Structure 1
Amino acid sequence: MKAFLRETSPVVVIPGVNCDTDQIIPARFLKEDRAKGYDGFLFHDISRDAAGNPDPAFPLNRPGADRATILLVEDNFGCGSSREAAVYALVDRGIRAVIGPSFGDIFFNNALKNGLVPVRLPVARCEALEDYLAKHDGATVTVDLEAGQLVLPGALGRHPIEIPSLARDCILRGLDEIEMTLTFMERIESFEAARIADNPWLGR
């Protein structure tokens, strides 16, 4: 996965409490070839009109939205079924971070395993940020994972980014858990060699 130190970007606001994984990517697309990318399926059903055409009112379909790599979402984003494809679709779309009051537990962990940074921000701060963005076109937010801070625009200040230390280290280095384990290969091999030397019967 792509390493993440910090990301500064305009923010797209995705409305809807309890936006579940089926809204993020409908189940019928899970059979599609992952190698071709899932970005075309992101928010597929809620971002289109009755005729199946992109709805210009949907936030990610608006002019300039393609420049945004950070989303602001509502409470319990990513709830529902445990499909990692919901994270794939966001990452394939170029989304690097999602800010919201809370996330579905499985979605939160899937995000970390794929280099997508989920930032928990209290409801009042999320609402203040949404209000600021509505009044200041082009305002940006910085997700500084290296410093462990979310830098908000205007006078909204900063907020700590709280994610597990192992996940943070993996994302900063652009490594998944298997790749992180492989960085310890010399120590693993040294340990195994010493163990065999002390217990020769293990190598029979």
Structure 2
Amino acid sequence: MQPIRTIESRTVVLPFTNIDTDQIIPARFLTTTTKEGLGKLAFSDWRYEASGAPKSDFILNRPESSGCAILVGGRNFGCGSSREHAPWALLDYGFRAVISTEIADIFRSNSLKNGLLPIVVDEATHQWLLDNPGAQLRIDLETSTLTLPTGTSVQFPIEGFARYCLLNGTDEMGFLLSRSDAITKFEQGRA
């Protein structure tokens, strides 16, 4: 995982409520165990015609979305079934953070474990983001703040251990492995 300290990017806005994991990455693409290449499949049913041609009116197919690392979704983002493929697809597309007023617990957990920062904001901030697609934002994970182009900064909640892992670019297993000497010493002392 890449460490996250700050993210500075324009936003892509998908204002729909209840964007579920099957919309993020349809179940027919869950046969792979690799993360690479899933970005082109993110929101596949919304992005492509049945023929496979890109839909020109879908936001991810428009030039202004190129290079954006922050996705703003409607309320209840990531609901539905648990699948790590959903954050994998978003990360492979190039997103580093997802912002909403409500993010489903399982999606949030899978995101944090895979290096995607899920950010929950208040209704007023969310509405501003929905009304201003393409806004340039600054996310500071060290201070847990999101700064709007207006200069307004908002705090967002994040669990301490998850924050530590994201800041250091490690997952839970990596964290445990980094403590293997201390674990070995402890176990030898118990024997």
Query: Into which bin does the TM-score normalised by the smaller protein fall?
Result: over 0.9
Q: Deviations over 1:105-129 (max 9, x none)?
A: 1001101001100100122221112
Q: Distance in 2 between matches of 1:171 and 1:62?
A: 30
CA separation in 2, counterparts of 1:50 and 1:174? 38
**Which position in structure 2 is the counterpart of 1:191?**
186
Q: Does 1:12 align with 2:12?
A: yes
Q: 4+ residue runs of structure 1 moved beyond 4 angstroms? A: none
In the alignment, structure 1 residue 167 sits paired with structure 2 residue 159: no
CA distance in 2, matches of 1:190, 1:31: 41
Q: Does 1:158 align with 2:153?
A: yes
Ranges in structure 1 where 5+ consecutive residues have no aligned partner: 197-204
What is the aligned-residue identity percentage? 43
Question: Per-residue displacement from partner, 1:12-61 (whole Å, max 9, x unpaired)?
Answer: 00131101011000000111352543111100001123543111111111
SS state at 1:67 partner: coil
Q: Which amino acid aligns with 2:99?
A: I
State whether residues 149 and 159 of structure 1, in contact with CA within 8 Å, keep that contact through their aligned partners in structure 2: yes
User: Could you say which structure has the larger radius of gyration?
Assistant: 1
Q: Per-residue CA shift, 1:155-195, capped at 9, x if unaligned? A: 5x111121110000001000000110112112111112222
Where does 1:33-182 land on structure 2 (aligned, <5 Å)? 34=34, 36-133=36-133, 139-155=135-151, 157-182=152-177
Q: Which amino acid aligns with 1:30?
A: L
Give the whole-Å Cα distance in 2 for the aligned partners of 1:123 and 1:80: 22
Provide closer, same or farther for how the CA distance between residues 110 and 35 of structure 1 changes in structure 2, counting only shifts above 3 A. closer
Aligned-residue Cα RMSD (Å) equals 1.5
Aligned pair in 2 of structure 1 residues 147, 35: CA closer, same or farther (>3 Å)?
closer
In the aligned structure 2, how far is the partner of 1:85 from the partner of 1:129? Answer: 26
**Does residue 31 of the first structure (1) align with residue 37 of the second (2)?**
no
**2:102 aligned partner, one-letter code:** S
In the other structure, the counterpart of 1:202 is: none
Shift of residue 132 of structure 1?
Answer: 3.1
How many residues align structurally?
A: 191
The amino acid across from 1:168 in the alignment is R
Matched-pair contact (CA < 8 Å) for 2:22–2:80: yes
Q: In 2 relative to 1, CA 102–35 (structure 1 residues): closer, same or farther, beyond 3 Å?
A: closer
Distance 2:4 2:138 in 1: 12
